[in-house]
């Protein structure tokens, strides 16, 4: 059974850091394009970052470039999103998704077939 489970969200002050995890089961993470999305209250879901097969290509949304880093640990079958210098506008539910391909247009995977339930990140003083 294919599953994606996110963890690592929480409350952090502006300027702080968090690392989100997305643990996959039922498939090998490295065999698929995979990415992070977020949805802030009252806004549409947007792509944050994605990674192509074998980590060949990485894309980031302009709003997070230089602050967020996507990576994966193949031994743990887990995707990460290291988030530094967090801002209040980063507050959102963050979800990971497996897709058909990863594109710089929107910094997201397209054709997503499996999603995690998400983890809430709140940036506030």
pLDDT digits (tens, 9 = 90+) for 16-41: 999 999 999 999 999 999 999 999 99
Q: DSSP code of 74?
A: T
- Whole-number Å distance between alpha carbons of 80 and 7: 10
Task: Give the model confidence (pLDDT) of 81-110 as tens digits.
Answer: 999 999 999 999 999 999 999 998 888 999
Residue tagged 């979800």 (tokens): 95
Predicted pLDDT at 43: 96
Predicted pLDDT at 80: 97
Predicted pLDDT at 55: 66
Beta carbons of 116 and 4 less than 8 angstroms apart: yes
Which has the closest alpha carbon to 21: 118, 87, 115, 113?
A: 118
Beta carbons of 94 and 36 less than 8 angstroms apart: yes
Which has the closest alpha carbon to 106: 33, 46, 41?
A: 46
């Amino acid at each position: 059974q294919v599953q994606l489970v996110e963890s690592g969200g929480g409350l952090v002050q502006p300027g702080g850091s968090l690392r989100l995890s997305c643990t996959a089961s039922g498939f090998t993470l490295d065999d698929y394009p995979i990415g992070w999305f977020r949805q802030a209250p009252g806004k549409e879901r947007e792509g944050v970052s994605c990674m192509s097969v074998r980590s060949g290509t990485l894309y980031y949304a302009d709003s997070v470039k230089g602050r967020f880093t996507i990576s994966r640990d193949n031994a743990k079958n887990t995707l990460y999103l290291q988030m530094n210098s967090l801002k209040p506008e980063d507050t959102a539910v963050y979800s990971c998704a497996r897709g058909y391909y990863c594109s710089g247009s929107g910094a997201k995977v397209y054709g997503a077939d499996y999603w995690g339930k998400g983890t809430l990140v709140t940036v506030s003083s």
